[in-house]
Structure 1
Amino acid sequence: MENLGGVIVSGAGPVGLVTALGLARAGIKVTLVDAAPTINDSPRAAIYYPTTLDVLDCYGLLEDALHVGYKSTEFQFRSPAENKVVSIDSSILTGLVRYPYNLHLGQHILADLVLQHLSRYPNAAVRWNTGLAAFEQDERGVTVRVDTAEGPQDLRADWLVGSDGARSTVRRLLDLPFEGHTWPDRFVATNVRFDFDKYGFAPINQVSDPVNWAVVARLGKENIWRCTFGEDASLPEEEVLRRIPERYAAILPGPGKYEIVAASPYRVHERCVPSMRVGRVLLAGDAAHVCNPCGGMGLTTGIIDAVELSDALSAVITRQRDDSILDYYSDERRRVFRECTSPTASHMKRVLSEKDPHKRREDEQAYRTSAENAEIGRKAMMYPSGVIGRPFPEGIYERADATA
């Protein structure tokens, strides 16, 4: 058995990587393991709000992210059936947030940036092709069984963090229920080359329609856009590519040529574990809670999970706080999901696909009021900040940065 000490983080998505980076910056020994050979580049989150940009700045990532990403301030609510478009500019948040804009870049690009920064710390290591298969914990630590190309191996650490996504192996091995529900429809996320600019689309667009709703957003500096729509989950998933042209015919604003770069169908859920801590094992991000992607609340919440968990765990390991702070982390992050993340995402999903004409008019008027009244608009645009939650009681400690 290899005694690593410190923390093992399972799952090398953005949440796991940011957790590992936070621990490494505090001088904690951390080992990140993932069954994949490299970062997952399938279509996933792509837009980061001012809340997330604050984290990137704090962790020294923002300058690099700005170099490769695309900045935007305009958002549009579109109702094609009524031929209505409402535009809201996030620059109205100037003075309320440090970064009154959004940043567009693929989740895999952000993950690669974090990985580059993590590699600068001698107390951090990443092991690809290393899938967590089992673990046992005791009062002093956690013994983790991993599958590798050389066969099973046992690793020993003081703590284990599961940031291994919605199908979390860590959560399953803890035998934690994933309470909530699954939405009846299937989402299809596509990356497409199409000249949305030509048709007046903003970098972020919410297209509201009872059937052909969509979220359309620019992915980065290139002319590649994310177009996500819904379909009947009873349709054969293996034929999703064949059905895309028919859906595009209804969703795309004009007859121009398009090129599908990637497509990924998936089911969406609103679920949460009853606890994000079981002894020396902790959960973060989608491993602990999942919501539908409307409104971009999932990864936004997960990134804050990563910051709060790395801060709390670092404080416990360095004996600046006792381990009750980890229970507070669990309770508060679950509260944030139940009271902010999931309700906001569910509201956004309803607005996108609302069938009641009266409610659709009310939704359009709400956006129009936000566009015309700066005070109301600022309150509406601040919704992602709700995922920050309440601070740790009595503070926690001065964030350390053990520069590599």
Structure 2
Amino acid sequence: MGEEQQVIVVGAGPTGLLNALGLAQQGVVVTVIERAPGLQDSPRAIVYHWATLDGLARLDLLDDASRAGFLKQDYAYRVHKTGEIIEYGLKALDGKVRHPYNLHLGQGALAQVILRRLETFENVRVLWDHEVTAVAQDSEGVVVTVRAAGGDKVLRAEWLVGADGAGSKIRGETRLGFDGMTWPERFVATNVRFPDNRPGWAQSTFYVDDVYGAIIAKIDESGEHGLWRYTYMEDDALPAESAAERLPGFLANVFGEDAGKGTELVAISPYRMHQRSASSYRAGRVLLAGDAAHATNPAGGLGLTMGLFDSYVLNEALGAVVQGRADETVLDVYAEARRRAFLEKASPRAAANKRLLFHSSDPVKLDQDLEVFRRMSRDREFAAERLYFTKTLETPSLLAV
């Protein structure tokens, strides 16, 4: 492919790669710019809600992603102080939706699945080790200056998609605000090999406690000692570089003093948590998607869920605009709809999830909050109604007549 591209996508995480793939499938010429030398695999998203799987299927990725990971239906809440276990799952959705299960797959593994598919298209290229240093635009397109090993390059395209994470250079270059707040605590996401034979632990478990709260989800089915995501919270005043030294204490209080037996820390990633949204998801010929547009704490797995839903509707609409099948005002509809979905639905739910899991010091309030899940465990129709929430985060096709 030559130097001319119709769309530049900045960021080679799942959100950026999904937009590139959706555009490529429509015949759009795309260049992906990524400052890292290759795909990143630090502990981040791991569970993809059932409602996002329809979009993966439309992009012909679901079968490959399912083979790389696994599908499951079970959930549980466990309360540290009382020992109560509330089990429920997605079986209530059986017969009601096309894909009544979640996909468990590391974010880096999902990106690899998408990249393998992208590499089959001649109208896409990925420029690794290229860092955006400046963005300018006019009525005809966008000019992007990048720093690479061979020196600076200048690339031009009709449109640019910024999918370069919460610290987005693209958002900064377009002078869009990132309004909201940063939580005072630190989250620590770890990949840990655990024995899989502990009774009563669901493959997605929310461990409720104001000290030892955690989100525990299985990543793969690799035998007796599977790989699990164990994400917990700690005081941000503690040194991040010694987080691994404190992990055994958390595990011992959750699983018992023998928790260290057969346990191996594979990866650890301490990070700050935010509830923030860009002031707009469109600035002229620049569109934002994923964490570049909005950032949330990970309780409930709504971060990449929103990035996927952004991507499904954006790539379809942008492809139509590039090819003259839709007016560019459809991109304003994208920007407004996705921002509203984050601010009105995803962010409040993620904040409520965080309060329940990690700030449950009032036993009366906790008992009231848990009653919703107790009812879900015994009332199939109520469970289906509650589980349908993630579907409401989706924006239907903007091209539908």
The reply to whether TM is greater than 0.5 is: yes
Residue 339 of structure 1 aligns with an amino acid whose one-letter code is E
Deviation at 1:103, TM superposition (A): 1.3
String of CA shifts for 1:167-197, please: whole Å, max 9, x gaps. 1000111111110001111000011111254
In structure 1, which of residues 361, 367, 372 is the aligned counterpart of residue 373 of structure 2? 367
Residue 345 of structure 1 aligns with an amino acid whose one-letter code is A
Deviation at 1:200, TM superposition (A): 1.9
Residue 351 of structure 2 aligns with an amino acid whose one-letter code is S
Matched residues in 2 for 1:252 and 1:232: separation?
A: 21
Check conservation: 2:131, 2:148, Cα contact below 8 A.
yes
Deviation at 1:108, TM superposition (A): 0.5
Matched residues in 1 for 2:221 and 2:68: separation?
A: 7
1:191 matched to 2:197? no
In structure 2, which of residues 280, 301, 307 is the aligned counterpart of residue 275 of structure 1? 280
Aligned-residue CA RMSD (Å): 1.3
Matched residues in 2 for 1:154 and 1:192: separation?
A: 43
Matched residues in 2 for 1:270 and 1:192: separation?
A: 27
Check conservation: 2:75, 2:87, Cα contact below 8 A.
yes
Residue 254 to residue 25, structure 1, CA distance change in 2 (3 Å): farther
Residue 168 of structure 1 aligns with an amino acid whose one-letter code is S
Which residue in 1 is equivalent to 2:24? 24
Q: SS of the residue aligned with 1:202?
A: coil
Matched residues in 2 for 1:315 and 1:160: separation?
A: 15
Deviation at 1:254, TM superposition (A): 5.8
Deviation at 1:66, TM superposition (A): 1.5
Matched residues in 2 for 1:254 and 1:242: separation?
A: 16
Matched residues in 1 for 2:379 and 2:275: separation?
A: 32
Which residue in 2 is equivalent to 1:379? 385
Deviation at 1:307, TM superposition (A): 1.2
Deviation at 1:3, TM superposition (A): 4.7
Check conservation: 1:20, 1:124, Cα contact below 8 A.
yes
In structure 2, which of residues 337, 344, 356 is the aligned counterpart of residue 339 of structure 1? 344
Residue 269 of structure 2 aligns with an amino acid whose one-letter code is S
Alignment of 1:2-401 (within 5 A): 3-222=3-222, 223-253=226-256, 255-256=258-259, 257=261, 258-353=263-358, 354-392=360-398, 395=400
Matched residues in 1 for 2:256 and 2:174: separation?
A: 47
Q: SS of the residue aligned with 1:389?
A: coil
Which residue in 2 is equivalent to 1:401? none
Deviation at 1:390, TM superposition (A): 4.9
Q: SS of the residue aligned with 1:198?
A: coil
What is the percent sequence identity of the aligned residues?
42
Matched residues in 1 for 2:42 and 2:204: separation?
A: 20
Could you tell me which runs of 5 or more consecutive residues in structure 1 were left unpaired when the two chains were aligned: 397-404
Check conservation: 1:196, 1:253, Cα contact below 8 A.
no
Matched residues in 2 for 1:137 and 1:316: separation?
A: 17
Which residue in 2 is equivalent to 1:399? none
String of CA shifts for 1:63-112, please: whole Å, max 9, x gaps. 11121212211100111211100111211101221111111111111000
Matched residues in 1 for 2:249 and 2:102: separation?
A: 31
Q: SS of the residue aligned with 2:368?
A: helix
Q: Which moved more, 1:196-205 or 1:24-33?
A: 196-205
Q: SS of the residue aligned with 2:113?
A: helix
String of CA shifts for 1:5-38, please: whole Å, max 9, x gaps. 3000000000000000010011111111101111
Q: TM-score, normalising length from structure 1?
A: 0.95
Check conservation: 2:135, 2:174, Cα contact below 8 A.
no
Residue 34 of structure 1 aligns with an amino acid whose one-letter code is E
Matched residues in 2 for 1:253 and 1:174: separation?
A: 51
What is the count of residue pairs matched by the alignment?
394
Matched residues in 1 for 2:198 and 2:246: separation?
A: 25
Q: TM-score, normalising length from structure 2?
A: 0.96
Q: SS of the residue aligned with 1:382?
A: helix
